[in-house]
Chain A
Amino acid sequence: MAESSAPPAPTPTGPALPLIGKSDVKPTWCPGCGDFGVVAAVEMAVKRLQIPSQNVVIVSGIGCSSNLPHFLNSYGFHAIHGRAVPVAEGIRWANHALTVIGTGGDGDGFGIGVGHFIHAMRRNVDLTYVTMDNQIYGLTTGQASPTSRMGQKTKSTPTGVIEEPIDPISLALASGATYVARGFSGDVKQLADLIAGGIQHRGFAFVDVFSPCVTYNKINTFDFFRQRVYKLESAGHDPTDLVQAFARSIEWGDKIPVGLFYRTEKPTYEDLEEVLSAGPLLSQKSGLKGREALLDEFV
Chain B
Amino acid sequence: MSDLTVCIGGQAGDGIASIGETVARSFSRLGLHVFGMNAYQSVIRGGHVYYQARTSADRPYSQGDGVDILYALDRQTVDVHAAGIRPGGYVVFDAEKFAVTPGELPAGVTALAVPTLEIARKYTTQSILQNGAGVGAVAFLAGVPLDLLHAVLTDSFGNKKGEVVDWNLGASAAGYHFAEAHAQPHASAVHRAGPPKLLMTGNQAIALGAAAGGLKFLAQYPMTPASSIMHWLAEHSHSLGIVVKQAEDELASINMAIGASYGGVRSMTATSGGGFSLMVEALGMAGMTETPVVVVDSQRAGPSTGLPTKTEQGDLNLMLGAGQGEFPRAILAATHPSDAYPLMIRAFELAEKWQTPILVASDLHLSENHATVDREEVPLDFEPAPLVTVHPNGHDYKRYQYTESGVSPRAVPGQAGLQFIAGSDEHDEKGHLVSDVKSGIPHWVAERARMMDKRMRKLEGLRHEAPPPVLEGPEDAPLTFVTWGSTVGAVRDAMRVLAGLGKPTNLLRFPTVFPLDPAAVRTALGRAHRTLLVEANYTGQFGRLVRAETGVELPERLLKYDGEPFSPHEIVARALEVMDHGGK
Q: Is the CB of A93 within 8 A of B385?
A: no
Nearest chain-A residue to B232 (Cβ)? A297
Instruction: Tell me if B437 counts as interface (CB < 8 A to partner A).
Output: yes
Return the contact of A6 from the options B251, B378, B415 (Cβ within 8 A): B415
Contacts of B238 in A (CB 8 A): 274-275
Contacts of A86 in B (CB 8 A): 219, 247, 251-253, 255-256, 259
Contacts of A281 in B (CB 8 A): 216-217, 241, 243, 260, 263-265
The CA of A69 and the CA of B243, in the complex, are separated in Å by 27
The CA of A78 and the CA of B258, in the complex, are separated in Å by 12
Q: Is the CB of A91 within 8 A of B262?
A: yes
| Known A54-B416, A289-B380: A77·B259 in contact at CB below 8 Å | yes
Q: Which of B278-314 contact A (CB under 8 A)?
A: 281-282, 284-285, 289
Q: Is the CB of A2 within 8 A of B386?
A: yes
Which of the 9-residue segments A94-102, A182-190, A212-220 touches chain B?
A94-102
Q: Which of A1-17 contact B (CB under 8 A)?
A: 1-9, 17
Return the contact of B421 from the options A69, A119, A286, A291 (Cβ within 8 A): A69
Rounded to whole Å, the gap between the CB of A103 and the closest CB of chain B is 12
Q: Which of B236-284 contact A (CB under 8 A)?
A: 236-238, 240-243, 245, 247-249, 251-253, 255-267, 281-282, 284
Rounded to whole Å, the gap between the CB of A43 and the closest CB of chain B is 14
Q: Is the CB of A282 within 8 A of B412?
A: yes
Which of the 9-residue segments A55-63, A144-152, A156-164, A165-173 touches chain B?
A55-63
Nearest chain-A residue to B372 (Cβ)? A298
Instruction: Tell me if B387 counts as interface (CB < 8 A to partner A).
Output: yes
Which of the 9-residue segments B52-60, B195-203, B452-460 touches chain A?
B195-203
Return the contact of A55 from the options B214, B375, B413, B433 (Cβ within 8 A): B413
Q: Is the CB of B214 within 8 A of A275?
A: no
Instruction: Tell me if B577 counts as interface (CB < 8 A to partner A).
Output: no
Residues 413-436 of B, flagged 1 when their CB comes within 8 A of A and 0 if not, give 111111111111100000011001
Q: Is the CB of A289 within 8 A of B263?
A: no
Residues 65-84 of A, flagged 1 when their CB comes within 8 A of B and 0 if not, give 00101100111111110110
Q: Is the CB of B415 within 8 A of A95?
A: no
Q: Is the CB of A299 within 8 A of B382?
A: no
Interface residues on B, range: 35 or more
Instruction: Tell me if B343 counts as interface (CB < 8 A to partner A).
Output: no
Instruction: Tell me if B340 counts as interface (CB < 8 A to partner A).
Output: no
The CA of A1 and the CA of B212, in the complex, are separated in Å by 10
Return the contact of A275 from the options B208, B241, B383, B421 (Cβ within 8 A): B241
Return the contact of B422 from the options A78, A115, A290, A298 (Cβ within 8 A): A78
Q: Is the CB of B417 within 8 A of A287?
A: no
| Known A91-B259, A281-B265, A286-B215: A295·B198 in contact at CB below 8 Å | yes
Q: Is the CB of A25 within 8 A of B380?
A: no
The CA of A50 and the CA of B568, in the complex, are separated in Å by 68
| Known A86-B256, A94-B217, A295-B375: A78·B433 in contact at CB below 8 Å | yes
Q: Is the CB of A89 within 8 A of B264?
A: no
Q: Is the CB of A276 within 8 A of B414?
A: no
Q: Is the CB of A83 within 8 A of B420?
A: no
The CA of A119 and the CA of B31, in the complex, are separated in Å by 48
Return the contact of B382 from the options A80, A92, A282, A287 (Cβ within 8 A): A287
Q: 26 A–B contact pairs at CB < 8 A?
A: A4-B264, A6-B388, A28-B436, A54-B415, A54-B417, A67-B433, A76-B419, A79-B255, A79-B285, A86-B247, A90-B259, A93-B217, A94-B260, A94-B261, A95-B265, A97-B414, A116-B248, A275-B243, A282-B264, A285-B241, A286-B214, A286-B265, A287-B383, A288-B382, A291-B240, A295-B380
Q: A62-B424, A286-B384, A298-B204 are in contact. List 16 more A-B contacts (CB 8 A).
A: A2-B383, A4-B386, A8-B414, A70-B421, A76-B421, A77-B289, A80-B281, A83-B282, A86-B219, A86-B255, A89-B252, A94-B267, A98-B414, A274-B237, A281-B260, A286-B216
Residues in chain B within 8 A of chain A (CB atoms): 28-29, 196, 198-200, 204, 208, 211-217, 219, 236-238, 240-243, 245, 247-249, 251-253, 255-267, 281-282, 284-285, 289, 373, 375, 378, 380-388, 412-425, 432-433, 436-437
- In the A-B complex, list the 5 residue pairs whose CB atoms are closest, starting with the nearest: A90-B259, A94-B263, A282-B264, A86-B255, A90-B260
